[in-house]
Amino acid sequence: MKTDRELLELAAKAAGISGMYVTDFRADDYYYQGNTEGIYYELPDGGGRIWNPLTADGDAFRLAVRLRMCIEPWGAGASAVVSINNRALVAEPHYGDDPERATRRAIVRVAAAIGEQLP
């Protein structure tokens, strides 16, 4: 089983995001409210940001759209199935009562599998 870092690095590769993995990131701004761990990448107009679709709904949504994923919350619990071209690629197990977490993780796992196949 891959670590969260490995999953994020492979998912970033699949999404075409070039950056480096950082932990405990804090912007110079005292009021920074973004992710503190993930892939740090430079923005075209200066500065940078942390990308972490495991924890950020927006990052997970943009990743799913970019890779043309079909996402279906599944069953009565917090599970999700992600597919591409009508082929189920991952079914994420229950995450207590947190369907959003299960869905984000399923999206990242599929993206990581795609990134693993890229040169």
CA neighbor of 53 nearest in space, from 114, 97, 4: 4
Q: What is the pLDDT of residues 18-70, one digit of tens each?
A: 999 988 766 554 444 566 789 988 888 877 788 999 999 999 999 999 998 88
pLDDT at 31: 42
pLDDT at 10: 96
Q: 75-103 as b/e, with b when 16 or more CB fall inside 10 Å?
A: eeebbbbbbeeeeebbbbeebeeebebbb
pLDDT band (50, 70, 90) for residue 17:
very high
Q: Under the phi-then-psi rule, with left for phi > 0, alpha for psi from -120 to 50, and beta for the rest, what region is 96? A: left
pLDDT band (50, 70, 90) for residue 16:
very high
pLDDT at 115: 92
Q: What is the pLDDT of residues 72-109, one digit of tens each?
A: 776 655 556 676 766 656 666 656 677 888 888 889 98
